[in-house]
Structure 1
Amino acid sequence: MGIDIVVAFFLFGMAATLIGGRIEFPRGLYQGLTLFLLLAIGLKGGVALSEHASARLIPQALVVLLLGLALPFIAYPILRKFGQWDRTDAAATAAHYGSVSVGTFAVAVALLESRGVDYEAYFPLFVVLLEVPAIALGIYLASRRGAEASALNWRSLLLNQGCVLLLGGLLIGWLAGVEGSAKVMSMFETAFHGALALFLLYMGCQAARYFPEVVRNGAFLTSFAIVMPLIGAAVGGLLAVSMDFSTGGVALLATLGASASYIAAPAALGVALPKANLSLPLTASLAITFPFNVLIGIPIYLSIATYIHTQFA
């Protein structure tokens, strides 16, 4: 089977940048693509909520929140003990790996849809739930007694672009329902893969530009940025299996557990933890974890989820 077409755009952007090719994105295009993808994901999830919302969503949401809190507690001691990182840098990086990457989630959704794999379409709600708790916990961990948590601007954190657009899309899709949203959903569904391809082209260019930082920061950073996603995927996948999610649902929660933020977390932590060296988590998440998940991780998570459902369903 050939490579997925949207992943090919990511590889192209990375390869072109590494050999010195110049791909200049028009100013604002990346922001426009991000806005489109967030709204498209939110709308689709909102329409699904209007059809499938039930009381069982409450315990599922609570478990997802626990996942977002558990991952920083796993990452933080690894960074402190094995990496010998100071408290602030370890806490900031742990927060990145507890929060999520909407871009990684979008790639996973595109793969599931291209292969005809069903999943719980209200998953965008879980993306929103995973966005914030880990960032707040990371700021708390940066201080022995949690004193630095006072530096957290809750309004800015809760009203960041990712949360606002996902929640807005969810609300609009939920209120409009299937019939009401049909007027706009055709555009969002038809253009989704094209927008994702352009987004991944840009991300490939950005990932390649961080490669010198990977070399400078050594083997531990690379090892952590690959091992931590596998741990997060295992935890997320096991929780999804325990909640009897579909094959696609198991793969998606594993993907969310494996992903690392490179948008919301840096923006929030740059203000709340000005002493943190954010080049470390950005290099890990953008130059290592994101490519690993897009090229290797997501297909593995889907294969394992399929095997589990085939053997034990």
Structure 2
Amino acid sequence: MSNFTDPAILFFVFGILAGSLKSNLEIPPPISRFLSLYLLMALGLKGGFALAQSGLTPGVLVDLGAALAMAFSVPLIGYVVLRRFLSGFDAAAVAATYGSVSAVTFITASQYLDNHGVAFGGHMAAAMALMESPAIVFAVVMANHVRRRMNSRAGPNLAERGEKPLLGSNPPLGKILHEALTDGAQLLLLGAMLIGLMTGEAGQSAMKPFSVDLFKGMLAFFLLDMGLLAARNMGQLKGQSPWLVVYAVLGPLVHAGLALLLAWTLGMSAGNGALLMVLSASASYIAVPAVIRHAIPEASPSLYFGMSLGLTFPFNILLGIPLYLLAAQQVLA
């Protein structure tokens, strides 16, 4: 597959191998953070420049609406399925992780489409930003529901013994919403997109050495770090239900299939449809786990973090992206 001749993807594979061999190769966290911010800033600028050329057309609004529809549908479907073999808290946390998106998967996919000459709209970066938060809100609401139900069942017995409720108070939804919507990485993406939209062609020429020429090398460096992290998190799923492994691979395929059906129904282009599939199939391993760790402390971080980073992320980077593009081209072209 041509994906395995891409230097950035090969650096990801190299990172997995080095991590599996327990090498001491490591990207310092501040550098990893810088690379992440650079990629989001460059992606936002590219999206803004593209939007400046195309404008906010009805087609753009339809694509953004499709993204929001998937952002609400995926965590709901995931929770219903996961609740069959996980606790309510773990099911909510995993559903939020898979209902949200992976910026790095999206960035890698957009570069893959560029490499293959497949056109897509810059507004799809805004779609990614829109898909970040609904899953977090859904998970917090479901976790609060589980807490209330458990406390109502245990409350009378605890009151007789003079004890406090089994579970802590529910985190304020407003605070969770604020954390989700003001996340620094997401704000940088949107801010860069706005700047690109405002400066247009002149800004594109001025920023080309930064947002275009450096992009491929920075992505390769960052994927090396992601490969190392993925390898070191694969072991977190040892001893877990084999159904979780199945969900970590088949779940994204089902989500991508639903996105393809929606894209076909709405008449989306192959490039935009492929990116909607990538967003729907991806799983967050940065923003959502950071919020969920505090919002749903009863859930197991090794579960949702290990699934998203140890299994789903490598699957999407190595196999999923080419598969989603192929399916989009077959159905939407």
| Pairwise TM-score range, normalised by the shorter structure | over 0.9
5+ residue gaps, structure 2: 149-169
What is residue 41 of structure 2 aligned with on the other side?
Answer: 39
Query: What is the deviation of 1:77?
Result: 1.3
Give the secondary-structure state (helix, strand or coil) at the position aligned to 2:101.
coil
Deviation of residue 41 (structure 1)?
0.7
SS for the counterpart of 1:260 is coil
Runs of 4+ residues deviating >4 angstroms = none
CA contact (8 A) 1:42 1:124 kept: yes
Asked if 1:191 corresponds to 2:194, the answer is no
Deviation at 1:219, TM superposition (A): 1.3
Partner of 1:7: 9
Deviations 1:189-227 (A, max 9, x none): 111111111111001101111122122324121111001
CA distance in 2, matches of 1:302, 1:176: 31
**Residues 40-62 of structure 1 deviation map (CA, whole Å, 9 limit, x = unaligned):** 11111111111212341334322
Measure, in 2, the Cα distance between the counterparts of 1:203 and 1:100. Answer: 16
237-246 or 23-32, larger mean C-alpha shift: 237-246
Indicate yes or no: 2:87 matched with 1:65. Answer: no
Aligned twin of 1:119 = 120
SS at match of 1:71: helix
Contact between 1:98 and 1:134, CA under 8 Å: does it hold in 2? yes
How far has the Cα of 1:241 moved from its partner?
2.1
How much does 1:179 deviate? 1.5
The aligned amino acid for 2:138 is: L
Deviates more, 1:253-262 or 1:49-58: 49-58
3-state SS, counterpart of residue 262 of structure 2: helix
Structure 1, 117-126 or 93-102: larger mean CA deviation: 117-126
* Residues 87 and 143 in structure 1, CA contact (< 8 A), matched pair in contact too: no
Q: 1:27 to 1:262 in 2, by over 3 A?
A: closer
Distance in 1 (CA, whole Å) between partners of 2:118 and 2:199 is 26
Q: Is the 8 A contact 2:63 2:268 kept in 1?
A: no
Equivalent pair of 1:214/1:283 in contact (CA under 8 Å): yes
Cα displacement (A) at 1:118: 1.1
User: Structure 2 residue aligned with 1:167, among 190, 197, 200?
Assistant: 190
The total of aligned residue pairs comes to: 308
The letter for the 1-side match of 2:103 is: V
Q: Distance in 2 between matches of 1:127 and 1:71?
A: 14
Q: Tell me which residue corresponds to 2:172.
A: 150
Contact 2:72 2:135 in 1 (8 A): yes
Name the SS for the 2:239 alignment partner.
helix
- The match for 2:161 is none
Q: Given the two structures, how large is their TM-score scaled by the length of structure 2?
A: 0.88
Correspondence for 1:79 among 62, 79, 82: 82
Is contact 1:120-1:246 (8 Å) kept? no
Quick check: 103-112 or 49-58, which moved more?
49-58
Secondary structure in 2 matching 1:276 = coil
**Secondary structure at 1:216 match in 2:** coil
Structure 2 residue identity aligned to 1:274: P
Moved more, 34-43 or 214-223: 214-223
RMSD: 1.6
Q: Does 1:231 align with 2:254?
A: yes
Give structure 1 stretches of 5+ with no counterpart. Answer: none
Deviations 1:24-78 (A, max 9, x none): 2134110000000000111111111112123413343223112101001110011
Distance 1:144 1:26 in 2: 40
